[in-house]
């Protein structure tokens, strides 16, 4: 599968490595038109290329957005149309600045991203796992219930299935928290599953208790 990666920091570069190792083609971008990514691209061999943001979005059948949440409005929306977009972002006001609708609990960060990326099939995912754990904890040898959980939320069932397949290919288990709004709230910063080392089996119990 062709995967575009927007942002090549902690999460973007880690995901690029995992997806390329799982056999996917990745186009990795950053805020500098792909400059400075030579070492990462060389490490990933023929499966990776460095590009600008728009090109990475157009390249991907799936596009992972891994930039600081507060920058979402800079993304070129038309390039994401029809794509399965995985939004790994979290809202941290001290980094992102204050968003009144989020502070007031009216909506969620991923719903704001979805309303900007109109036409994208948005899934919130990869936002609850620390990048070092993402790097280290995938294990395709484990049964799904014992694997580390990666939570997904979204309104498009097909898009969630695609995201879940990718999660499983890199050794994790996808746990569906529900629609983008309601599910997104169950996996955002400060929730019972945020940055917790839960297997899929444990995650299901934590979610049903909450
Ligand atoms: N760190 C984690 O463990 C972790 C875990 C789960 C979720 N998240 C969330 O994932 C998102 C990314 O976090 P991170 O830690 O990976 O960030 P990071 O290490 O700071 O990397 C951010 C990347 O985004 C790029 N970028 C910044 N502004 C951009 C823009 N306007 N357009 C395109 N690219 C832009 C940066 O480009 P340059 O390289 O050119 O500066 C950089 O490659 C955040 O919302 C974070 O809360 C982080």
Report the percentage of the chain scoring pLDDT > 90: 99
| pLDDT in the model for residue 210 | 78
User: Of the residues 8, 18, 30, which should be mutated to test ligand 1's pocket, given the most ligand atoms within 8 Å of the CB?
Assistant: 30
Find out whether the beta carbon of 110 lies less than 6 Å from any atom of ligand 1: no
pLDDT band at 56, cuts 50/70/90?
Answer: very high
The mean pLDDT of 56-62, rounded to a whole number, is 98
The mean pLDDT of 158-163, rounded to a whole number, is 98
Ligand 1 centroid, distance to 87 Cα (angstroms): 11
Q: pTM score, two decimals?
A: 0.98
Residue entry with tokens 């620390």:
130
Among 23, 50, 22, smallest CA distance to 38 is for: 50
Find out whether the beta carbon of 33 lies less than 6 Å from any atom of ligand 1: no
Residue 146 in this model has a pLDDT that exceeds 90: yes
The mean pLDDT of 132-141, rounded to a whole number, is 98
| pLDDT in the model for residue 95 | 98
Residue 106 in this model has a pLDDT that exceeds 90: yes
Report the percentage of the chain scoring pLDDT > 70: 100
The mean pLDDT of 49-75, rounded to a whole number, is 98
Ligand 1 centroid, distance to 209 Cα (angstroms): 32
Radius of gyration of the chain (CA): 16
Tally DSSP H helices, then E strands, for the chain.
10, 8
User: Of the residues 66, 102, 150, 193, which should be mutated to test ligand 1's pocket, given the most ligand atoms within 8 Å of the CB?
Assistant: 66
Pairing of strands 2-6, 25-29: parallel
Ligand 1 centroid, distance to 202 Cα (angstroms): 28
The mean pLDDT of 103-130, rounded to a whole number, is 98
| pLDDT in the model for residue 108 | 98
Find out whether the beta carbon of 131 lies less than 6 Å from any atom of ligand 1: yes
pLDDT band at 167, cuts 50/70/90?
Answer: very high
Take residue 141 and report the two structure tokens written for it: 């040898």
């Amino acid at each position: 599968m062709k995967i575009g990666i927007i942002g090549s920091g902690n999460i973007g570069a880690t995901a690029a490595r995992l997806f390329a190792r799982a056999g996917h083609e990745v186009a990795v971008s950053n805020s500098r038109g792909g400059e400075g990514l030579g070492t990462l691209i060389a490490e990933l061999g023929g499966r990776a290329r460095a590009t600008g943001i728009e090109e990475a979005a157009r390249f991907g059948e799936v596009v992972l957005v891994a930039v600081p949440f507060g920058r979402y409005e800079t993304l070129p929306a038309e390039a994401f149309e029809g794509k399965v977009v995985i939004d790994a972002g979290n809202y941290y006001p001290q980094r992102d600045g204050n968003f009144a609708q989020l502070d007031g609990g009216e909506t969620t960060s991923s719903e704001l991203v979805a309303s900007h990326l109109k036409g994208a099939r948005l899934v919130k995912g990869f936002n609850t796992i620390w990048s070092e754990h993402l790097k280290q904890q995938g294990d395709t040898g484990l049964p799904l219930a014992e694997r580390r959980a990666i939570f997904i939320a979204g309104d498009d069932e097909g898009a969630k299935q695609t995201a879940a397949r990718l999660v499983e290919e890199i050794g994790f288990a996808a746990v569906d928290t529900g629609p983008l709004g309601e599910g997104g709230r169950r996996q955002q910063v400060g929730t019972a599953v945020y940055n917790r080392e839960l297997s899929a089996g444990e995650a299901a119990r934590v979610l049903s208790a909450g």
